[in-house]
Amino acid sequence: MKATRFANRAWAFVLAVLMTLTLIAPQALAANTVDPVKPAGNKIVVGQTDYTLVDGVTESDIFLNTREGNAQIAGFMTTIAPGAKATFKASYNGYYTEGSTPASRKDKAANLAWSMERTTQQAANYVKATGGNVIMAMNGDYYNMQTLQPTGYLIMEGNVIQTGNGGTWEPYFAVLKDGSYAIRDAGVDCSDVLEAISGPFYLIKDGVIQYNGDDLMPRNSIGLKADGTVVTFMADGRQSPYSVGMSLNDQAEFLAAQGVVTALYLDGGGSATCATKREGPSATARPTVWSARLPAPCCWSPRRRTTACSIMPPSPRTIRSTRPTARSSSRPSVWTPTAAMPSSRRM
């Protein structure tokens, strides 16, 4: 049966989302061929199980560990090969609504209200609005915790919502109008961009690892190989012995070992998440425990099934001095990249 898989599932708040959509109707598919995962640093590969989402798109559930066997990492990698029958779509709460049209959404884009909604709900809203088939979703980027405004680029259906928030300058992942993908510096002309979301910084740029950090936590990212293959990776964390998480350097080294030459960090901590729809038995999930950056405790619900792949852009960049409290249930809950306030950076 079809099952929705959540890595580091949590009821977090999300502003924008990037979704991977199938371009063909769902059907039985032969398994895609993906390369065996290559270890990096002091890690070894304990296991790898591959699932075909659609032709050219493969989800790999991966377990890594140290040679001593004392620091297991559960990871979820999605590989989108060149020519795959899928593409990416960016989404933000309130943009895709049932009955909306490209024309009405263009009008809405000119004055989009900042609000929150769960990643899976944003995917469901997209399906209702367009009839599309979402197969994967991730959150990413930062946002301002006071205004809920993303801090980086947000472009949907060619409608430029913003290229930054105040003085922030973040690189961005883009779907170009010719159907190809790119990861670009802030400020690069985006007139040829159809969809885009940002990440706060590069993990890898032109084959060179850009960031060092040793804190272990859940983390997600997106990258490109030299041949145009897109790789997304989510490391579960803060759940020892099941999964201890990754450092920034761990994730950069892992992606580089898989042949990724440019990669953006999307989000980390309790709000980092991904969801996929695939054929196969229901997979159990390990919710992350309370995180200081979450507005509410993390938990996982297997009830929502989505048909799209999405990545969420805005994530908060602010540091809060007090433990967050659960928000009223009347407030929309979304998978959004955690952004911080102008004063500090969230990692």
Question: What per-residue confidence (pLDDT) applies to 310?
Answer: 43
- Ramachandran angles phi, psi of 150, nearest 5°: -60, 155
Alpha-carbon gap, residue 146 to 213, rounded angstroms: 27
The residue ranges of DSSP E strands in 55-99, in sequence order, are: 57-66, 73-80, 86-92
* CB-based contacts of 60-63 (< 8 A; 24+ apart in sequence): 60/34, 61/5, 61/283, 62/37
Question: What per-residue confidence (pLDDT) applies to 22?
Answer: 62
Centre a 10 Å sphere on the Cβ of residue 302 and count the other Cβ atoms it contains.
14
Q: Which residues contact 283 (CB under 8 A, 6 or more apart)?
A: 3, 5, 61
Question: What per-residue confidence (pLDDT) applies to 346?
Answer: 34
CB 57 within 8 Å of CB 81: yes
Question: What per-residue confidence (pLDDT) applies to 308?
Answer: 33
* CB-based contacts of 60-65 (< 8 A; 24+ apart in sequence): 60/34, 61/5, 61/283, 62/37, 64/39, 64/254
pLDDT digits (tens, 9 = 90+) for 121-139: 888 899 999 998 888 888 8
Alpha-carbon gap, residue 297 to 98, rounded angstroms: 30
Ranges of the chain with pLDDT below 50: 1-14, 24-31, 281-347
Question: What per-residue confidence (pLDDT) applies to 347?
Answer: 37
Helix, strand, coil abundance in the chain, percent, nearest 5: 10, 35, 55
Question: What per-residue confidence (pLDDT) applies to 201?
Answer: 94
Termini Cα distance of the chain? 36
Question: What per-residue confidence (pLDDT) applies to 271?
Answer: 79
- Tell me the β-bridge partners of 275: 6, 137
Pull the structure tokens for residue 221: 């990212």
Question: What per-residue confidence (pLDDT) applies to 279?
Answer: 59
The whole model's pTM is what?
A: 0.77
Alpha-carbon gap, residue 200 to 184, rounded angstroms: 12
Question: What per-residue confidence (pLDDT) applies to 306?
Answer: 27
- For 251, the 3-state DSSP assignment is helix
